[in-house]
Amino acid sequence: MLSAVKHQTNAPYPILEFDPAREAFIEPSKVIKPRDVPEHCVLCFFSDVIEVIVAEHDAKVIVENRWEDGPHPLYEIKHAGKRLAFMHPGIGGPLAGSLLEEVIGFGCRKFIACGGCGALDPSIAVGNLIVVTAAVRDEGVSYHYLPPGRDVSANKQAISALETALRNNNAPYRLGKTWTTAAPYRETHARIATRRSEGCIAVEMEAAAMMAVAQHRQVILGQVLYGGDDLSGEAWDDREWQKHEEIRERLFWLAAEACLGL
């Protein structure tokens, strides 16, 4: 139990000084006013897809939300007869984790995130789908939400919902662990080899942070990724992964189906 963990004031490094206090100085539930928002929310890392959904599916802004880097509105559409929220959660663990906190504060409770990833396994082609089962915590955000540890596990209910949606749509996928890092330009050969040896098949920048926030706030969150650039060989291969518009938009709708299945 978190309540049994003491504040580690004598930890050798600040990142290990976990404080289990449930209430923060700026506590979201005390500063964020709940809104009339859907229970289900897709966190989509593809700004191009969000633009298409907004333009073609009569999406409405239900919360105007702005940070110093610009707007991060929360949208709503009707899908499969149900209300569905969606938003871009920002890039990197600190922003994604903080925006998730705010959306939870607004009232959303069930989340599926969809995004791209770097492939650490050479068998992962561009567009291959990965349902995240766990994430190595090589970032900073998760250490403020969970006691120090090697990795964080994904929510089992969310994994099941994703698998059901993917199977129902004949979308091949694999289950796997990802490596969440805050420093994509420090992914060295040695660190990649280490992550592969502990079972990571993908690398990205947000999963561990978002899963830690979700666990702390006791909401459901899962994530599905598609294979992007290749980091499995001697040299980096971009593979022009961001140009696959059809894969990206399909992944949004698969995430939506999984989310509404929660």
Any domain includes 23 = no
Q: Are 23 and 31 in contact (CB under 8 A)?
A: no
pLDDT at 5: 55
Any domain includes 9 = no
pLDDT at 180: 98
What is the average pLDDT value for the chain, to the nearest integer?
95
Q: Please measure the distance between the N-terminal and C-terminal CA atoms of the chain and give it in whole angstroms.
A: 26
Q: Please check the confidence at residue 1 and state whether its pLDDT lies above 80.
A: no
Condensed to tens digits (0 to 9), the pLDDT of residues 183-226 reads 999 999 999 999 999 999 999 999 999 999 999 999 999 999 99
3-14: average pLDDT: 70
pLDDT at 82: 97
Residue 242: band (very low, low, confident or very high) from pLDDT cuts 50, 70, 90: confident
Any domain includes 59 = yes
Any domain includes 199 = yes
Range of the domain at 82: 31-260
Residue 10: band (very low, low, confident or very high) from pLDDT cuts 50, 70, 90: confident
Condensed to tens digits (0 to 9), the pLDDT of residues 57-76 reads 999 999 999 898 899 999 99
Q: Could you tell me what percent of the chain has a pLDDT over 90? A: 92
When divided into structural domains, the chain yields a total of 1
Greater model confidence, 56 or 244? 56
Q: Are 42 and 50 in contact (CB under 8 A)?
A: no
- Report the 3 state secondary structure along 127-162: CCEEEEEEEEEECCHHHHCCCCCCEEECCHHHHHHH
Q: Please check the confidence at residue 38 and state whether its pLDDT lies above 90.
A: yes
Residue 3: band (very low, low, confident or very high) from pLDDT cuts 50, 70, 90: very low
Any domain includes 84 = yes
Q: Please check the confidence at residue 2 and state whether its pLDDT lies above 60.
A: no
Burial class (CB in 10 A: 0-12, 13-18, 19+), 246: exposed
Residue 244: band (very low, low, confident or very high) from pLDDT cuts 50, 70, 90: confident
Q: Residue 231 belongs to a domain with what CATH number? A: 3.40.50.1580
Rounded alpha-carbon distances, angstroms, from residue 83 to 51, 124, 129, 252? 19, 34, 26, 15
Any domain includes 194 = yes
- CA dist 37 and 236 (Å) reads 42
98-127: average pLDDT: 98
- How many CB atoms lie under 10 A from the CB of residue 236? 12
The contacts of residue 103 (CB under 8 Å, 6+ apart) are 37, 41, 74, 85, 87, 111
- CA dist 94 and 113 (Å) reads 16
Any domain includes 5 = no
Q: Are 145 and 215 in contact (CB under 8 A)?
A: yes
90-112: average pLDDT: 98
- CA dist 148 and 154 (Å) reads 16
Any domain includes 206 = yes
The whole-model pTM stands at 0.94
